[in-house]
Every structure is written in structure tokens, then in C-alpha cells.
Amino acid sequence: MDIVSIYQWLFTETKELPSTVAHFERYPRIPVSDEVTLTPDFTVLFHDGRGIAGEIANTARHEGSIESLCSQLQKYSRLTELPNAGGGMSPVDPIDVLWLTPMETATAAVRRVFERFDDPTHDYKPLRRPVVVQFSSNPDNYVLQFWPDKSVTGALAPTDVFSYADFDEDMKVPPDKFKHVKVKYAFMNDPVKPLYLATRLWTSIFPSQFGTSEEFVATTQEIAEVVKAQYGHVRTADVEAAMGILRAAGLATDAKPRWRVRRRKLRHLGEVHEAIAGLVDRGTSEPRRRKGSSQGELALFDLDSESGLIDPSAVAD
Amino acid sequence: MATTLAPLDAAIWTRIQSGQSVDLARMLDGFNEAGEPRVQVAVETVFTDGSHPFDVLRPTGMWSDERSQSGEVEALRLTDDDGEWLLLAIATQSDGVFHLAAAGPRTASRWQRVERWIGRTRDISKCFINHKDLAGIGDELAAYGRVEVVKVAARVARDGSSINRGFPVRDGFERPSHTDEIHEIEQLGASIRTLTLHVVDSVDVHLRRIAGATFNGGSFRVFRDVVLRRLEDAAAVRRQLVSDRARLPGSERVESLTVSLGASILEDADDTGDLLAVVGAMPDFSMAVFHRNPYLHFAVTDEVDGSNFDVMVTRADAVDIFPGYRASAASLARVSQRIGEAFGALTIANARLEEPTSIFELR
């Protein structure tokens, strides 16, 4: 999610690039046929008709994940329209696929993807070579780096105006630059971790929407609409999963077709995410504050794998 | 029943009861001129959503209370084990800003009680004034006489250590001016918490970052015209800063309030852990930490009124507070000022508007 926020900031708020950009879209849904909708992590539509479809992918070791990624990148390379600022679609040509991959696994991932590209017997034949940016997260910043060997990967389409391609150096982006984007857009396209969304619902979304009401009832769809109104994007299935966590924690009951949520103070149980996870672990009985968990020792993203509440492979960028 | 009010309180109460205006400066300065024992007055400047502080303040441990008003001064006549006394609420020209005042030093048990009552009243917000407001009071007092520092208490931001300095009167030794002393404290990387000033031939005051002051003697008129007016201005600015900050659907950009620390003290997870401990200890607030590295990001929820905030530390010298879709002024004031107070912040203000970054700065 930080990577999408970084690119949104880069293309819409920096000094040089925004004047070239017609529209940046986070997590668009682009129907390409009656059955198929493509969901890149972001798209950029430029005034001169160029476009970028960005995909952040942490490739796993198994072959299936590489095949799936190749298939995805190939479909993006054939997009002919991208979302515009008016809520519709605009033609795009050429389109570059920007594949973003974590630095620690980039070498193997790039080799395996481009082996397929160069294999005449393989189906992976995108219209243009994908452009690879590897990224890493450091204590002070994120580093984004175009794959140095352009004989292997593609390069962004040439243009007469200043473009991202003209910055072919390591780009270091401190979080201070994009923090406001991150606060505004709390969720990503890939499945949101249920404990994260459950915690967000409890700490921000429910208090904002329902104030100090002791109890409220709402359907999953109604809750999803509230989340969308506040944060712009969420998948209904993710809301369903997050409400399942709150139910397992004894904080909501499933009064089909609605959820009944009883507000209660969790402060005495530690930080909210720990409290929810603790309530789930122990059924609905009152948990004690976790041993060894002093203030802030466990951030939400530490807790996920520990509590087994989510599938670690669902952790996107 | 015979009154047990002290002479000044008795005089104020009599005027209020008879519907006469209460000019504290005239009364106190008259007392001083008449050679009465010196009267100290402790003051805390607060702001509300517009309601009168006495409508929401709940004094405890008092035998009785009686409320009366004349003009902008409203008095609460209280009785405790030691007798009767008055707590005054003085309305100001600024909407929702009041001075709460009582005769006696700040250290008196009665005033300590008042501070506890204020502290637990959600609808009354204290004001942690910016560093420059404190310096500004000294600058303005200089128009009335040479300003000498009698005592200063400060806190070193980096390690939390305290600085307490006193400057007794000595032959051949001149106490430092407020500008010299503030400069020296700043050089030590510290922020001032309290400042006791003697303005030669004018007034003696004790100033506190939590918008409070004590009149220790001299001209109450000067105290009112300079100290109370500056505290009023600071509280009015702070009230405006924290009011109507809830996010609105469709708003283009999420604007934050920045607590500027003046030094890079939130360098690593241990340092930011101190911030989590401070917020985590606040009654009625819960929190959830989303990220620790490479930056700290956590949500804070007011469990009483539903206000919620995203708090981020992306630089070592500042804390950004982004209000959520529900954010009361009282709640935002509490969170921002508690952080400011705990870390000796220089200012609490809107985030700076910065020039767009050139991508070439990202090399």
C-alpha cells in the first residue's frame, strides 16, 4: 500500500510530473470483456496519450505464481483504455506495464519472468517488455530503482515531455512525503488482512459513523458503503471477513442479514489490535494483557502472522 | 452566618451580589495600595465549545457551592474544610475563552483541586501555549520595566532531564533578562515549562506553558493587560486550530496538525515507544499501532465521544495528527497538547505548506 501511495504522490504532487498526468487511479477495476475485469494496483493516464499500469507483485517460489504473474502482466500490456478523471475511460497508446517487485527477491523473479518472455515456445508475449522497478524499505525511506539492465527488462515509452524515465537513478522517498496519501487511503486492492480491517473498523470507521451509540446494526454491504465513503475503496468480501473477526472476538453477533455490533471499551485489554486478537484466541472470555507486550511492542503487522488470523501470502506491498 | 471569605473574596462577592461590575485590577491594586497583605492570584486560561465553564465543571469535596454573576465575572462560592473561597470565571473578548482564577498561590491545595477538576472535565480544554507565546509575554512586559528572571524550569527534549535554575538577588549581580535566559535554555536543547519573572517597579508573575499564570504582586493591571491578554490570544488561536477539524467526505487532501518538537528526539523504535506510552496512558483513549518502521503510524480513538485520529511520526522532530471523520475540538486538544506537553514541544500548529518536491531531490 505504501508503494501505491508513493507513486500517487510522485505522479500527482511532485514538481515535475503532475503537469504531464491526466489522471492517477488507485486500484482501478477495468472490464475488458463481459467476464474479465483487470485490477492493476494503479494506472497513470498521461496527457500525451501514454499510460502506465502498475502491478506490485511479491512472487513466490512455486511455478504457478510466476505463470499467474506473467498472465497478469500480459493482460495489462494489452489494455487500450485507462480510467480518466471523469470516471470514464480514455484510449491509451502506448501502455507500459510497471512491475514493482521487492529487492530481496527481484533477481530470481526477473530472471524467471523474462526467461518466459524470451522462450519462443512460451505463451507469455506481452506487446512491450514490462518495465521493472525493484523496491526496498529502509529505516528512513523507501528506495525505488529501475532494473539496471535494460537489455533484459523494458524501458518506459519515449516522450517529448519530462517523464519518470528521465530519472534513472535510485529514488529515495522518505515517508514524510506521502504520509497524507496513506492516511487518506487506508486500504488496498489485494485482500485486506481481516485483523487490520477489523481494527480499522473498531478504531476509526465505526466511531466516526456511529459515534457513541452503544449498539448498532448494519449489513456487510452497508458497512462496506461506509468504508468506501470514508476511504474510497474496500472489497465487500474483506468487510465480511473482518466482521467475522469481530464476531469471533465477541464484539459483533451475526443477526442475519445484519450484524449487531455492541460498542465496548477495549482500552483495559491493551492496544486494540492486540485486544481483538486476544479475544479471538480465547473465545469470548476476557483475555489478560499479553505477556511481554509492552506499549507498542507488537504493531498490527507483527501480530498477523503470530495470531494466525490471516494468510501471510495475502500481505501485499 | 458570618462570612469566612478572605477580604478580597468578600469584596468581590459583595459587588457581584449587588450587581456591580467587578474590576479585579482596580480592586487588587487598591488592596496593595492600602497596605493589605499581598494577595496572589492563580489563573488558568481555558477554552470550551462555547459553554460556560461552570456549566460543566464539577467541583468535588466541597461542602457547598453557590453561583453568582455580574458582567463578565462569574463566581463560584465554595466551602471546604478550611472555610469559604471563590473560584472566578472571567469571560474574555474571545469566544469560548475564559480565565479561571482564585486568590492564592498555584501551590495551594485549593488551586491544585481546581486543576484536577479542570483536568477531568472533557468539555474544558487547557491550552499548552507555544514557546514563542511565552517569550512574547516577556517582550511585552519589558515595556513596563526591566524584566528579570527569578526562576526557570525547563525540560531537555532529548533525554527528558530537568533544568531548574533560580537567580537570587545579590549585590553586584544582575539577574538575566528573559531573552538571555530563553536563549540559553534553547542552546541546551530544552523547552521552558515555567518562568518566574520580576518586572522592576511593575509586577511579579509566574508563567506556565499550560496556559496558566500566577500574579505574585505588583500591578494587577499590567498582569491583566499583558499576561492575561496574551494567554487569551493564545487560547483563542488554539481553540480555532482544533475546532472543525473532522475530515469531510470527498476532501482533496487530509490536513494534519503538527506537534513540532524542536529537536530530533524520535529517532528510533525506543523513542517512538515513549510516544506510544504517553498516548496509551491517557484515560478514555485507546489505540492501535499499524506500523513501527520505517515510520510510526497508529490510530487513537476517544472512547467517550468517538473522535479518532491517525498519528504518524515520519520525522524525528515532529508528530503529525490527522483527524478522522469524527474529531471534537476537546478531544483533538487533549491528544495534541498531551503529546506537546510530554515532549516539550515548541509549537502545535497546522502542518507547514511546503513547495512541491523536485524528484531530483530524491536522489
CATH code of the domain containing A62 = 3.40.1350
What beta strand segments (E) does B219-316 contain? 257-260, 285-291, 296-302, 308-315
Q: Which residues of B touch A204 (CB under 8 A)?
A: 299, 301, 308, 310, 324-325
Here the cell at position A3 is 508503494
Q: Confidence class of residue A77 from pLDDT cuts 50, 70 and 90? A: very high
If asked whether residues A232 and A116 sit together in one domain, one would say no
B325 in a domain, yes or no? Answer: yes
Domain extent, residue B236, equals 131-204+220-242
A189 in a domain, yes or no? Answer: no
Here the cell at position B19 is 450587581
How many Å apart are CA B40 and CA B29, to the nearest integer? 12
Contact of B235 with B45, CB cutoff 8 Å: yes
pLDDT value, residue A223: 96
Q: Which of residues 192-251 of B touch A (CB under 8 A)?
A: 247, 249
Q: Is the ipTM reported for this complex over the cut 0.90?
A: no
C-beta atoms of B290 and A10 within 8 A: no
C-beta atoms of B293 and A212 within 8 A: no
The sign of the torsion formed by the CA atoms of B139, B144, B149, B152 equals negative
If asked whether residues A284 and A258 sit together in one domain, one would say yes
If asked whether residues A231 and A292 sit together in one domain, one would say yes
If asked whether residues A46 and A179 sit together in one domain, one would say yes
If asked whether residues B69 and B121 sit together in one domain, one would say yes
Per 3-state DSSP, chain B is made up of helix, strand and coil in percentages (nearest 5) of 30, 35, 35
pLDDT value, residue A205: 95
Q: Which residues of B touch A210 (CB under 8 A)?
A: 306
Exposed, middle or buried, B246 (CB in 10 Å: 0-12/13-18/19+)?
middle
What beta strand segments (E) does chain B contain? 41-47, 64-70, 73-80, 83-91, 97-103, 125-126, 147-156, 162-166, 190-199, 203-208, 212-218, 257-260, 285-291, 296-302, 308-315, 318-323, 347-350
- Find, among A50, A25, A47, A48, the residue nearest to A38 by Cα: A25
A47 in a domain, yes or no? Answer: yes
Residue A214 predicted with pLDDT over 90: no
Here the cell at position A98 is 510497471
Q: Which residues of A touch B248 (CB under 8 A)?
A: none
Here the cell at position B291 is 506500523
If asked whether residues A34 and A173 sit together in one domain, one would say yes
B117 in a domain, yes or no? Answer: yes
If asked whether residues A47 and A174 sit together in one domain, one would say yes
C-beta atoms of B254 and A296 within 8 A: no
Within an 8 Å CB–CB cutoff, is residue A303 touching chain B? no
Contact of A114 with A125, CB cutoff 8 Å: no
A81 in a domain, yes or no? Answer: yes
B215 in a domain, yes or no? Answer: no
CA A196 to chain centre: 13
Residue B73 predicted with pLDDT over 50: yes
Q: Which of residues 301-330 of B touch A (CB under 8 A)?
A: 301-308, 310, 312, 314-315, 320, 322, 324-326
How many Å apart are CA B89 and CA A101, to the nearest integer? 62
If asked whether residues A172 and A204 sit together in one domain, one would say no
Q: What is the mean pLDDT of residues B88-114?
A: 94
Among B76, B99, B126, where does a domain finish? B126
If asked whether residues A110 and A244 sit together in one domain, one would say no
Contact of B86 with B102, CB cutoff 8 Å: yes
Here the cell at position A165 is 524515465
pLDDT digits (tens, 9 = 90+) for A249-279: 999 998 888 999 998 889 889 899 999 999 9
pLDDT value, residue A317: 34
Among A184, A210, A241, where does a domain finish? A184
If asked whether residues A175 and A291 sit together in one domain, one would say no
Among A184, A207, A231, where does a domain finish? A184
Minimal Cα distance from B299: which residue of A?
Answer: A203
Q: Which of residues 156-195 of A touch B (CB under 8 A)?
A: 167, 169-177, 179-180, 182-184
Q: What is the DSSP letter of B138?
A: H
If asked whether residues A18 and A137 sit together in one domain, one would say yes
pLDDT value, residue A191: 75
Q: Confidence class of residue A316 from pLDDT cuts 50, 70 and 90? A: very low
* CATH assignment of the domain containing B321: 3.30.160
pLDDT value, residue A190: 67
pLDDT digits (tens, 9 = 90+) for A222-233: 999 999 988 887
Among A184, A213, A245, where does a domain finish? A184
A238 in a domain, yes or no? Answer: yes
If asked whether residues B264 and B311 sit together in one domain, one would say yes
Residue A32 predicted with pLDDT over 50: yes
A79 in a domain, yes or no? Answer: yes
If asked whether residues B267 and B230 sit together in one domain, one would say no
* CATH assignment of the domain containing A289: 1.10.10
Mean pLDDT for chain A? 86
If asked whether residues B98 and B37 sit together in one domain, one would say yes
Q: Confidence class of residue A61 from pLDDT cuts 50, 70 and 90? A: low
Within an 8 Å CB–CB cutoff, is residue A82 touching chain B? no
If asked whether residues A89 and A117 sit together in one domain, one would say yes
Residue A289 predicted with pLDDT over 80: no
C-beta atoms of B325 and A209 within 8 A: yes
pLDDT value, residue A292: 40
pLDDT value, residue B150: 97
Domain count, chain B: 3
How many Å apart are CA A72 and CA B224, to the nearest integer? 72
Domain extent, residue A269, equals 194-314
Domain count, chain A: 2
If asked whether residues B150 and B166 sit together in one domain, one would say yes
C-beta atoms of B290 and A196 within 8 A: yes
If asked whether residues B26 and B112 sit together in one domain, one would say yes
A19 in a domain, yes or no? Answer: yes
A163 in a domain, yes or no? Answer: yes
Residue A112 predicted with pLDDT over 60: yes
A91 in a domain, yes or no? Answer: yes
C-beta atoms of A301 and B298 within 8 A: no
C-beta atoms of A208 and B324 within 8 A: yes
Minimal Cα distance from B272: which residue of A?
Answer: A296
If asked whether residues B235 and B142 sit together in one domain, one would say yes
pLDDT value, residue B251: 79
Which of A2-11, A181-190, A261-270, B127-136 has the lowest average pLDDT?
A181-190
If asked whether residues A205 and A77 sit together in one domain, one would say no
If asked whether residues B63 and B142 sit together in one domain, one would say no
Element (H, E) at A227: helix A220-231
Which of A193-202, A293-302, B116-125 has the lowest average pLDDT?
A293-302
Q: Which residues of A touch B303 (CB under 8 A)?
A: 265, 267
pLDDT digits (tens, 9 = 90+) for B213-230: 999 999 999 999 999 999
If asked whether residues B46 and B98 sit together in one domain, one would say yes
How many Å apart are CA B14 and CA B24, to the nearest integer? 13
